[in-house]
Chains A and B, each alone.
Chain A
Amino acid sequence: MRQNCLFMKRYLLCLLAAWFATSCMQPAFAHGGVVEEDDLCVIKVNYLRGHFKIYQPLIDGHKEYCEDLPNATESVFVMEYLHDSLATAAVDFRIIRDVTGKGRFARWEDVAEIEDIDAVTVFYREPTIDPDVLMVIHDFQEEGHFIGVVTANVDGDETIYRAVFPFEVGYTGFGFWPVIIVLLLAIQFQYFVMSGRLKRWRARSVVAAILLILALPVTDATAEEWVSKRNIYEVSYESSIDPIAINRMHHWVLTITSDGQPVTGADIDVSGGMPAHDHGMPTRPRVTAELGEGRYRLEGLRFHMNGRWEMSIEIEANGRRDTVVIVLDL
């Protein structure tokens, strides 16, 4: 009897926790429009995903909002594509006053029921293909509840993908959000631990450290020959300007060998950048000619900053692919 009671108590507690969790989660996921993932607001237009953010630059400068906006003022909506198809899709953008009575739970079905959607539309942008980023600006004249509807038509396909996101303008309260964020963080953390990512992450840093130590002799500035990661190729280069100066367009001649033998007919892909500054090269250099005896002309090089640059040269010849990283200190 006593054991039974304990069991019931536990059962009830679990039930309560489950109910609490699901009831709180609902606002975050119900409309399927904008959700928080890894500190980003992500909009899901069906399977197409975008990084979604809203600004009120006149009042809040660079502050980013996900959905609810504190002020009725000029607001800039930005959607950066996380899926390439969005860059070629005709995307329209509509903001309507929320007349569905569903508030945060409004879905497309509710919006579709509105008889005269134009009458409640406060902003509409015609379907437009934008290869870079979706941006619209709207000056809200009044506070209240609104619904954003983004539709995407991919490649003139019949299918139309939609995202519906209810939001509030003049929003001051915190509502459910703090609870949801804590819950999401907890779930995220648990996932992180459970999925073995933590271990993998640890393992990766160990591997990276070992690689770094192994790479140290290779990155010796005095070394003329650079060895590829899997020791397949040796690469050296000769620059058309010596020493290499910043802001000057120039070219290199690469000499590629494998076990000391020249490598001919290689496919070479070159990229470069400054790891310390998270940016690549100002140009897109490429190999323009094979000069024989394992020599290749690499054109279109320009470095625009002093500091450490890394040039990653991917070589594929006779079915063997490997990458060599050349480090330059300018």
Chain B
Amino acid sequence: MNKIIYWVVVLATIVLSVAASRIWPPPGDNWSDAEKVLLQSLWLGSLPDLPPDPTNAVADDPRAAKFGHELFFSTDLSPSKQISCATCHRPELRFTDGMRKGRGVGESKRNTRSIVGSVYSPWQYWDGRRDSQWSQALSPIEDPAEHGGSREHAVNAVASNRQFRKQYEALFGTVPNLDDERNVNEMFANIGKALAAYERLILPGPSRFDDYVAAVLADDADQVAELYDDDERAGLRLFIGKAACTQCHNGPLFTNDEFHNTGVLSSPGEVPDKGRAAGVRLVLEDPFNCKGDYSDAATHACPELEFARSGFEVLGAFRTPSLRNLEKTQPYMHKGQMYTLAEVLEHYNEAPFAMIGHNEAKPLGLNATELTQLEAFLNSLAAPIAVAPKWLVPPPVADQQGTGQ
């Protein structure tokens, strides 16, 4: 009798589990329509066309891009002739340097951010203290820890180099009298604009994630099954769901380019970094900002500056970085505080109180498996830069001058 009951229970269990799995299949690759919309929003195919830069008249001039490319790899802009933009923005590391903090003539204050896709951001730097690629490009030249130079040195370096001068004059007209401060500023700004015309071209390429989303959107079951393993799939589900990553890492570049305090620990030997609270003051005062005399934008066309938020709310807040280049852009965070993705994920899982300001993130309560799955997903975002190879190496002319190193 007992035996019969035993078998009835076993059979019932089997039947019920089969029925349950039919009714509630494991999520796997079955994305709801709402999830598909979210996946599509993160897909590189959703990246809009290159945005125009009204503050930079030569932004889309191919001659400016060529000139900017040469300036980017040239060490002439630094008085020591040792430092170029490429010293810290190394193309092979997705335009970062692999160090906690950038190192030019000295050690700079923060971690070097990638240039890839930065054309899409209304702000540059971790604290958004510059509001265009061209005004950003000027800053390292005068930073005592980076190029260690000055605008006077930079404009004279361009004026006294035959190749540079020719290209400069073709774009911006005759080199002006450099005894005049305004002329120096104007020419200095133009150097930044040429650099920006080059940097605009540095865009991310499609990753395995993008292929996966394309397959999901096309209902290509074979491709969908092949492109992602179970961990990556589960990681993606967490990323857009429980882990709430898309609160900040949204859009096709996985960033909202906004400023958030996420309670990252201060860097050894330093007080906590104020981030945006200080950055917003700097960008508003910056003579090279969108509203400044050297911007090509018509006045009043600078809504980002005009409506920028300041105060306690942005104390200790830093600009969300893209997640598209993680495999080559460690260490992470504004001072390079974390070396591995596991550390970063652990930090967000814990969401400790911020040392200054207010940590916007909430503890996630993810278990160890889920953290591994998220990491697997993040690694699937790895992809090479989508730009012709010639732009990623020093231009021939720079080599001739022996400034390629």
Contacts and interface: CB of A to CB of B under 8 A. Distances in A.
Given A55-B266, A132-B277, A299-B303, A284 B308 contact: yes
A261 interface: no
Contact of B356 (A135, A246, A247, A278): A135
A127 interface: no
A197 interface: no
A277 B309 contact: no
Contacts of A282: 256, 258-259, 309
Interface in B256-274: 256-260, 263, 265-266, 268-272, 274
Interface in A277-301: 277-286, 299-300
B229 interface: no
B355 interface: yes
Contacts of B263: 62
Contacts of B259: 282
B259 to A, nearest CB: 7
A76 B355 contact: yes
Interface stretch (B17-25, B168-176, B242-250, B396-404): B242-250
Instruction: Find the residue from B251, B263, B266 having the highest chain A CB count within 10 A.
Output: B266
Contact of B313 (A61, A74, A280): A280
A305 B247 contact: yes
A61 B352 CA distance: 9
A198 interface: no
A179 to B, nearest CB: 26
A133 B308 contact: no
Interface string A58-83: 10011010000000001010101000
Size band of the A side of the interface? 35 or more
B309 A283 contact: yes
A246 B247 contact: no
B247 A307 contact: yes
A76 B272 contact: yes
A57 interface: yes
A271 B122 CA distance: 21
B309 A281 contact: yes
A202 interface: no
B107 interface: no
Contacts of B306: 299-300
Nearest to B276: A282
B353 A62 contact: yes
A3 to B, nearest CB: 56
Contact of B265 (A61, A137, A249, A285): A61
B360 interface: yes
A55 B355 CA distance: 8
A253 to B, nearest CB: 16
A286 B358 CA distance: 25
Interface in B33-78: 38
A204 interface: no
A278 B260 CA distance: 12
Interface of B: 38, 122, 246-248, 250-251, 256-260, 263, 265-266, 268-272, 274, 277-278, 303-304, 306-310, 312-313, 315, 352-353, 355-358, 360, 362
29 contacts: A57-B265, A61-B265, A62-B353, A74-B268, A76-B355, A132-B312, A132-B315, A132-B356, A135-B271, A135-B272, A246-B251, A247-B250, A247-B256, A247-B258, A249-B122, A249-B303, A277-B247, A279-B260, A280-B313, A282-B256, A282-B259, A284-B308, A286-B307, A299-B303, A300-B307, A302-B307, A304-B248, A305-B248, A305-B256
Interface of A: 53, 55, 57-58, 61-62, 64, 74, 76, 78, 80, 132-133, 135-137, 246-247, 249, 277-286, 299-300, 302, 304-307
